[in-house]
Amino acid sequence: MYDWRVKDMPEAFSRKTLLDLSAAFFLLGSILVLVISILSVPIETVYPTFRLRIPLTYSYLVAVIIGIVGAILGLDCFSMTTKRNLSNAGVRGIVIGAVLLSISWAAGLSFQIVGAGAVLILIAGIICYIYREE
């Protein structure tokens, strides 16, 4: 039913590969969220010069601050994953990914790329939580 190559792949290889992939997802998602959160304020206020200046709303600034804090915590999850502290990295990654995903939905169109980074962090957190050792 399966090809012969599937039977020869050891479990330790696939576990190590998935944990390395989750570390990469934590890193990529966190860097993506951090860069977009920092750059979204100047882009939102300065870039479209042909429209009337609309002051930044309080909820938008809160979303930017939560995005920056979430990105820093995502980098901490990357650090915990590389040290193989998978239980803490998994739970923290799932919570951070869910919070970032909800603020990307609430902040509107300018935070859609933050949603992509949040999905990467959420997937990495789920992988770490599955492979945690108790």
- What pLDDT is recorded for position 8? 56
CB 26 within 8 A of CB 81: yes
Tell me if 25 is assigned to some domain. yes
Those residues of the chain that have pLDDT short of 50 are none
Residue 115 lies in a domain: yes
* Predicted TM-score of the model (pTM): 0.81
In a domain, 4, yes or no: no
Residue 3 lies in a domain: no
Name the domain count of the chain: 1
**Is residue 17 a part of any domain in this protein?**
yes
> Does any domain span residue 8?
no
For residue 58, what pLDDT is reported? Answer: 82
Provide the residue range defining the domain that includes 91: 13-130
CA pair distance 134, 51, nearest whole angstrom = 56
Asked whether residue 94 is domain-assigned, the answer is: yes
